[in-house]
C-alpha cells in the first residue's frame, strides 16, 4: 500500500468528475461544428464554463480554456507583454515574484532573452510573502515602463498564501494589469476572481480532483492578450484549438464539488497536516517547517501543505528512501539539466543552499487519511538516518 502525499503535484480524480468525464467520452461531437452533435458538445462546454465561472467568482465570458496551468501562465505573461509593448514600446518591464512557479519564471526569462523585456524580481519575507509595499516600490522605480505584475496566489512548494487583493490594488493605482497563478489555490481556498481585483488568473483541473490536460486562464473582458497560437479562433480569438469537451466537463464537475466541500475539507486536511508536522518535529528537534505555520492555520498557508527542512540530508535521498517505504512525496528541489539544484523558492526566502537541499514536501488532499500520516511518521526516522549517513559518506 502506498501513502500518497504529493497532491500538490497532482490529485487523484474525484469519483464524480471521473464519472462525468467518462460519460462524455462516449459522446461524439466537435464543439465548433454547427450540426446537432456539434451543438450538443458546445452546450456541454458552455454549461461547464458557467459552472467554473460561478465557482471562481467570474463571468462565463472571462473563462478561457487551456491545456492547463502552464499554458494559462504563458498566455497571461506573454500575451499581456506583447499587447502592452505593441501599444506602448516603453512598456517592457515585468514585475514578478521571486518564488513563482517555473511556468511563470521560464516564460519571463524567455521574454527577457528574446523579446526585449526586463524583469524586476519581487523579493519576499522569510515566510515567502510578497508585501504590497514591495510591489509599490518596484513600480515607482519607473511606472511608465511596467507591462505586468505577476504574483502567485499560493506557493506550490511551501504553501504561502499571498494577499492578492492588496497587490492588485497597488498595481491598478498605476494602471498596470495584475496576473496571479491560482493553480494551487482554486478548490482549496476561497477564490473569488472579481473580489480579488486580478485581471488574469491561471487555474488547472488536476490540482483539485479533475483530469490532467485542461485548465483555464480567467481574463477580464478588457484584458488585452496577443495569442500564443493561431487557428480556428476559439476562446475569444486568443486560444485556438478544438476544445476537449470531456476534460472540460470533468474539470467543471471537480471544481464544483471541491468548492462545495471546501470549508469542511480544509479543516480536515489542515488537521492531518498539523499532526504530520508536529510529529515530524518530535522525531528530530532540528527539523523545521518553512513558511507561515501554526496549528489550524488556513489563511496564510495552504491547508494540505507540510514543507520541512531536514538538516544533514539531501531531499532527493529522503524522497527515494520514503518511496521505498511506500510513501510518495516530493522535495523542494528543481532538477535542471540533470543537476539537482536547491529550490529557488527557498533561496528567495533567505534559506541557505545547504539547508535548502534537505527540503521535503508532503502534501495532502481529498484522499488523505490518518493512515497516510502514520505511514510517513513510521518511515521517516529510518529514512533520515540513512540519508544523513549517505551525506556523511559522500562528504568524507
Whether residue 151 is contained in a domain is answered as: yes
Q: How many CA atoms lie within 13 A of 291 on its CB side?
A: 31
Q: Phi first, then psi: give them for residue 372, nearest 5 degrees.
A: -65, -45
> Tell me, what's the pLDDT at 336?
45
Q: Residue 187 CA to chain centroid, in angstroms? A: 11
Please say which residue of 259, 288, 313 terminates a domain: 259
Q: Among 228, 188, 197, which Cα is nearest to 67's?
A: 228
Co-location of 69 and 185 in the same domain: yes
Co-location of 268 and 250 in the same domain: no
SS3 content of the chain, % helix, strand, coil (to 5): 45, 15, 40
Whether residue 4 is contained in a domain is answered as: no
Q: How confident is the model at residue 284 (pLDDT cuts 50, 70, 90)?
A: confident
Whether residue 6 is contained in a domain is answered as: no
Whether residue 97 is contained in a domain is answered as: yes
Please say which residue of 228, 259, 290 terminates a domain: 259
Q: How confident is the model at residue 332 (pLDDT cuts 50, 70, 90)?
A: low
Co-location of 139 and 232 in the same domain: yes
**pLDDT tops 50 at residue 221:** yes
SS3 assignment, position 305? strand
Co-location of 268 and 252 in the same domain: no
Whether residue 195 is contained in a domain is answered as: yes
> Tell me, what's the pLDDT at 368?
98
- The domain total for the chain is 2
Q: How confident is the model at residue 54 (pLDDT cuts 50, 70, 90)?
A: very high
Positions of E strands within 74-191: 93-97, 118-122, 146-150, 178-181
- Start-to-end CA distance of the chain, whole Å, equals 36
Co-location of 236 and 144 in the same domain: yes
**pLDDT tops 70 at residue 200:** yes
Cβ-based neighbour number of residue 112 at 10 Å: 14
Angstrom distances, CA of residue 49 to CA of 182, 247, 267, 278, 388: 17, 12, 28, 41, 50
Q: How confident is the model at residue 345 (pLDDT cuts 50, 70, 90)?
A: very high
Whether residue 8 is contained in a domain is answered as: no
Co-location of 239 and 101 in the same domain: yes
Please say which residue of 225, 259, 293 terminates a domain: 259
**pLDDT tops 50 at residue 374:** yes
Co-location of 71 and 202 in the same domain: yes
Q: How confident is the model at residue 2 (pLDDT cuts 50, 70, 90)?
A: confident
Mean pLDDT of the chain: 95
We report the CATH number of the domain holding residue 306 as 3.90.1150.10
d(CA 392, CA 126): 28
- In the numeric block, which cell numbers belong to residue 363? 502534501
> Tell me, what's the pLDDT at 337?
39
Check: CB of residue 135 under 8 Å from CB of residue 122: yes
Angstrom distances, CA of residue 103 to CA of 68, 87, 110, 181: 11, 25, 11, 9
Active site residues: 335
Check: CB of residue 152 under 8 Å from CB of residue 101: yes
**pLDDT tops 60 at residue 333:** no
Co-location of 148 and 235 in the same domain: yes
Co-location of 128 and 241 in the same domain: yes
Whether residue 222 is contained in a domain is answered as: yes
Co-location of 321 and 190 in the same domain: no
Co-location of 313 and 383 in the same domain: yes
Angstrom distances, CA of residue 80 to CA of 74, 105, 108, 110: 9, 15, 12, 14
We report the CATH number of the domain holding residue 230 as 3.40.640.10
Co-location of 44 and 74 in the same domain: yes
d(CA 53, CA 46): 10
Q: Among 388, 376, 291, which Cα is nearest to 4's?
A: 376
**What range does the domain containing 253 cover?**
15-259
**pLDDT tops 50 at residue 351:** yes
> Tell me, what's the pLDDT at 334?
44
> Tell me, what's the pLDDT at 390?
85
Task: Tell me the average pLDDT across 244-254.
Answer: 98
- In the numeric block, which cell numbers belong to residue 338? 540533470
Whether residue 1 is contained in a domain is answered as: no
**pLDDT tops 70 at residue 338:** no
Name the most confidently modeled range: 282-291, 339-348, 386-395. 282-291
pLDDT tens-digit readout, 40-53: 999 999 999 999 99
Task: Tell me the average pLDDT across 72-96.
Answer: 98
Amino acid at each position: 500500500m502506498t501513502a500518497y502525499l504529493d497532491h500538490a503535484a497532482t490529485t487523484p480524480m474525484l469519483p464524480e468528475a471521473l464519472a462525468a468525464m467518462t460519460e462524455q467520452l462516449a459522446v461524439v461531437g466537435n464543439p465548433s461544428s454547427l450540426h446537432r452533435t456539434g451543438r450538443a458538445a458546445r452546450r456541454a462546454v458552455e454549461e461547464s464554463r458557467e459552472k467554473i465561472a460561478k465557482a471562481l467568482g467570474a463571468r462565463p465570458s472571462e473563462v478561457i480554456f487551456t491545456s492547463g496551468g502552464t499554458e494559462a501562465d504563458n498566455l497571461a505573461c506573454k500575451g499581456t507583454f506583447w499587447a502592452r509593448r505593441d501599444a506602448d514600446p516603453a512598456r517592457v518591464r515585468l514585475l514578478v515574484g521571486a518564488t513563482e512557479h517555473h511556468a511563470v519564471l521560464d516564460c519571463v526569462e524567455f521574454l527577457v532573452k528574446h523579446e526585449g523585456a526586463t524583469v524586476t524580481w519581487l523579493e519576499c519575507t522569510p515566510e515567502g510573502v510578497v508585501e504590497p509595499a514591495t510591489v509599490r516600490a518596484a513600480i515607482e522605480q519607473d511606472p511608465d515602463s511596467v507591462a505586468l505584475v505577476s504574483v502567485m496566489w499560493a506557493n506550490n512548494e511551501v504553501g504561502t498564501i499571498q494577499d492578492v487583493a492588496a497587490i492588485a490594488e497597488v498595481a491598478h493605482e498605476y494602471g498596470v494589469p495584475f496576473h496571479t497563478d491560482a493553480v494551487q489555490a482554486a478548490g482549496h481556498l476561497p477564490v473569488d476572481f472579481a473580489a480579488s481585483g486580478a485581471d488574469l488568473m491561471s487555474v488547472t483541473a488536476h490540482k483539485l480532483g479533475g483530469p490532467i490536460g485542461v485548465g483555464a486562464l480567467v481574463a477580464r473582458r478588457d484584458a488585452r492578450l496577443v495569442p500564443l497560437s493561431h487557428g480556428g479562433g476559439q476562446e475569444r480569438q486568443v486560444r485556438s484549438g478544438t476544445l476537449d469537451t470531456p476534460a472540460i466537463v470533468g474539470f467543471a464537475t471537480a471544481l464544483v464539488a471541491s468548492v462545495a466541500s471546501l470549508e469542511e475539507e480544509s479543516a480536515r486536511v489542515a488537521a492531518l497536516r498539523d499532526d504530520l508536522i508536529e510529529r515530524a518535529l518530535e522525531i528530530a528537534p532540528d527539523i523545521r517547517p518553512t513558511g507561515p505555520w501554526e496549528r489550524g492555520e488556513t489563511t496564510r498557508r495552504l491547508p494540505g501543505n507540510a514543507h520541512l527542512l531536514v538538516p544533514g540530508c539531501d531531499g532527493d535521498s529522503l524522497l527515494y528512501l520514503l518511496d521505498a517505504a511506500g510513501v510518495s512525496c516530493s522535495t523542494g528541489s528543481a532538477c535542471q539539466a540533470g543537476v539537482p539544484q536547491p529550490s529557488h523558492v527557498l533561496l528567495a526566502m533567505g534559506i541557505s543552499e545547504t539547508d535548502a537541499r534537505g527540503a521535503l514536501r508532503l502534501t495532502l488532499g481529498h484522499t488523505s487519511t490518518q493512515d497516510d500520516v502514520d505511514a510517513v511518521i513510521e518511515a521517516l526516522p529510518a529514512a533520515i538516518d540513512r540519508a544523513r549517513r549517505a551525506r556523511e559518506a559522500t562528504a568524507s
